[in-house]
Amino acid sequence: MLVVLLLDQCLKVWIKLNMFIGQEYNVFGQWFIIHFTENEGMAFGFSFGGSWGKLALSIFRILAVAGIGYYLWGLTKTRTRSGVIVGMAFILAGAIGNILDSALYGLFFSESTYYQVATLFPEGGGYAGFLHGKVVDMLYFPLIQTTFPTWFPIWGGEPFQFFRPVFNLADASITSGVVYLLLFERSFFKKIEHKEEQPC
């Protein structure tokens, strides 16, 4: 968890202090691009509208992290397989990583714009209050760029791109943890379901 959090936050801070919104670097041709953007807090660049929506999302995330952390702590006290603990730890680390952006970046940084990079601890204060900061995204993998064939229903003739969303290491950590648990640890959750179904 500490490794994921450290890598995630170091990359985000570097991006904030060295790039302006929309700036990008080609890492591997047109397939892997570092593209700086920010969002209001949902994964893969999606937004949750308005100031109250942002606050509600931040509070929900904190409660979810507390619940996942408590559950993970309970798993470590039992003889749970290490794979389950690692998968849950990846999910928790990613969730904490994005919460740090939402909770603190608005306090610590000036606003990033399309023509100016942010500064750390600006004189006039940060660009937003507690729990109202924006999440930093930068990983962009437009692996396939093509056009739907004209005979294709609804989207025929329109451009198609995969993978379109821009995300960060925290998002990748959450997704990796969930995918790992679904693919390789389903038996653990089946045992829990079986125990719950047994009559008292």
Residue of 15, 171, 172, 174 marked active site: 171
b/e burial code for range 1-17 (CB count within 10 A of at least 16 → b) = beebbeebbebbbebbe
Please indicate whether residue 101 is annotated as part of the active site: no
Neighbours of 44 (CB within 10 A): 16
| Nearest CA among 57, 62, 52, 14 for reference residue 34 | 14
What the block records as the tokens of 49 is 């509208």
Residue of 38, 40, 101, 137 marked active site: 137
Please indicate whether residue 171 is annotated as part of the active site: yes
- Between CA 49 and CA 51 the distance in angstroms is 7
Contact 162, 133 (CB under 8 A): no
Angle at 43 between CA 6 and CA 61, to 5 degrees: 75
- Would you please indicate which residues are annotated as catalytic (active-site) residues? 137, 171
